[in-house]
Amino acid sequence: MEKQLLREQIERIIQEKLETTTIPTDTWKQWLAEANEQEGENLISRQGSHVILREGRCYLLWRQNASQATVLFCNESDLSERDIEWLRMLLWMDSQTVKGVSQSVTGDEYQAALFGQWILERLQASDMQAEVPDSFSWKNKLFSTVIPFLLVTEQSHREGPSYTQLYKLLKSYFGGDLVVVPLTDKEWFFLVPEHLTSNADADEEEDNKETIEEYLTSYCHGLFELLAPQWIGESHLSVAYPTAPIHGIPAIVSRLRETIYLGRTFHIPESIHLPWELHLEHLVYSIPDEVRKQFMQRVVTKNDNFTDVETMTTLQTFFQYNCSVSETAKRLYIHRNTLLYRLDKIKQETGLDVRTFSDAVLVKLILLLYKVTK
């Protein structure tokens, strides 16, 4: 990227003019070593050693030779954490271009980073229905119907794949062109053309066709099995309904983030979170705290009964398998009579019989409310 244009881009991001100074290269290396020792505070990002926070200032490595380093700087207080990560990404990509990395790959990655930054800016401004600007070369891909995915990773011990590696993985899975956008170092947003996921057979009988939710779920599971091994740590995946996202991409990202948040809150062991399975969770989470507490006080007279691990596991499995006694007993590896004994015990202690519809609804709500009130 041409240096003057890059500098203008950085100044637009931070909304401040940058100052320039020259220091010995050995001084920069010393600052860098000191920054690396400040784990969690001034730790340099995975994109490269181009940004250092020091003594209230943010220093950007601009040019460097064996003896001297040219750095740009501004006040650290003028920058958010997201601004700093964005600067690191821009400077890293610029350095890769200088080193001779394939221009086509670097250009795609740069466009992806810019697109991700635009999405985050629109989210911050609550401009959920924003139209994608003409300046993005990808805009023409967004007039067609696509399926949006959001991947959230919690890397541990090592980094996940780079943009290029991730794009190749996704392309190998879907078999065609798609849009891959880094939002943060832990979030990746994919837009997959609908025709790449369509598995409908024109000759198949209508009754045997998968619903849209079923085929999106199957793609989510397959995609997760492909991507999860690439990171050591937790990974979470969600998907939205097909859409033509020339308008409203920020709203899509916001809903996907919310879906993953709700899934992680209410269904801790799970890694795939589907919006059509979280309607009740969304409703429960939107209830004000005071109303939640009042409900619990009215309905539950012995709250501690629902905190018992065996009771919680039994009830969660019972609801997961549609209140089927036989299937629940099978999944819990217990005899049917043992399960009936447990359900009778819950009834005696709480006054609620989950084998009746009205009580089952109340107990389901109680379990969900416990996860946000306890």
Q: Can you give the CATH number for the domain in which 269 is found?
A: 3.30.70
Do 152 and 258 belong to one domain?
A: yes
Residue closest to 245 by CA, chosen among 319, 200, 318, 193: 193
Contact 275, 255 (CB under 8 A): yes
Contact 63, 98 (CB under 8 A): no
Helices (H) and strands (E) in the chain, counts: 13, 9
How many structural domains compose the chain? 3
The pLDDT of residue 312 is 84
261 and 315 in a single domain? The answer is no
Residue 245 in any domain: the answer is: yes
The residue out of 232, 249, 282 marking a domain boundary is 282
What does the pLDDT read at residue 77?
80
Please report whether residue 99 resides in a domain. no
pLDDT at 251: 95
User: 115 and 220: one domain?
Assistant: yes
247: helix, coil or strand?
A: strand
The pLDDT, as a whole number, for residue 302 is 53
Q: Among 282, 310, 328, which residue terminates a domain?
A: 282
Q: What is the pLDDT of residue 249?
A: 92
End-to-end CA distance of the chain: 51
Asked if the structure places residue 85 within a domain, the reply is no
Domain boundary among 263, 282, 301: 282
State residue 96's pLDDT score: 53
Per-residue pLDDT, 301: 57
Closest CA to 214 of 198, 236, 192: 198
Phi, psi of 16 (to 5 degrees): -145, 150
* Residue 305 belongs to a domain: yes
Quick count: other Cβ atoms within 10 Å of Cβ 73? 16
Cβ-Cβ contacts under 8 Å for 279 (sequence gap 6 or more): none
Domain that holds residue 224: 107-282
Which pair of structure tokens corresponds to residue 89? Answer: 């990404």
Chain-centroid distance of CA 4 in Å reads: 34
101 is a domain residue: no
Integer Cα distance of 300 and 352 in angstroms:
9
Query: Are residue 230 and residue 337 in the same domain, yes or no?
Result: no
Mean pLDDT by 10 residues, the chain (374 residues): 70 80 88 69 46 85 83 83 72 56 55 85 87 79 89 70 84 86 89 76 57 89 84 84 89 95 87 92 87 79 67 87 89 90 87 88 86 72
- Please indicate, yes or no, whether residues 240 and 302 belong to a single structural domain of this protein: no
Residue 266 · residue 301 · CB < 8 Å: no
- Angle formed at CA 251 by CA 245 and CA 256, multiple of 5 degrees: 100
Name the residue with tokens 């939640």. 292
Q: Are residues 205 and 277 in the same domain?
A: yes
Q: Where are the beta strands (DSSP E) in 48-173?
A: 51-54, 57-64, 68-75, 146-153
Please indicate, yes or no, if residue 164 is contained in any of the structural domains.
yes
Per-residue pLDDT, 254: 95
**Do 59 and 187 fall into the same domain?**
no
